[in-house]
Amino acid sequence: MGQQYLIDSNTVINFLSGKLPQQSLGFINQIVNDTPNISVVTKIEVLGYNTPTETTQLLNDFINDSIILGLENDIVDTTIKIRKEYKIKTPEP
């Protein structure tokens, strides 16, 4: 297995709705064709919206095919470090 990536909520939604730019699609397809990695936060965000039934099934299928990473201390600590280094804000609901 090569390098692994953690896919965020916006990427999941834009990928499944066909809204990703063409130049990004090949890269994301490679990641998704391998088992995609998402966080438990992405699962909550993606499945927490009221969506039409057909969309809900697509989202559930994607989530079920993903490796879902919990919020272990090393993930939390790495997230804090990345947020500080790159000045990334936590999204608001």
pLDDT tens digits for range 22-38:
989 999 999 999 889 99
Q: How far apart are CA 55 and CA 37, in angstroms?
A: 20
What confidence category does residue 92 fall into, taking pLDDT thresholds of 50, 70 and 90? low
Q: How far apart are CA 78 and CA 1, in angstroms?
A: 22
pLDDT tens digits for range 35-61:
899 999 899 889 987 788 878 889 999
Element (H, E) at 11: helix 9-16
Helix 9-16 vs helix 53-64: crossing angle, to nearest 10: 120
Residues 47/64, Cβ–Cβ less than 8 Å: no
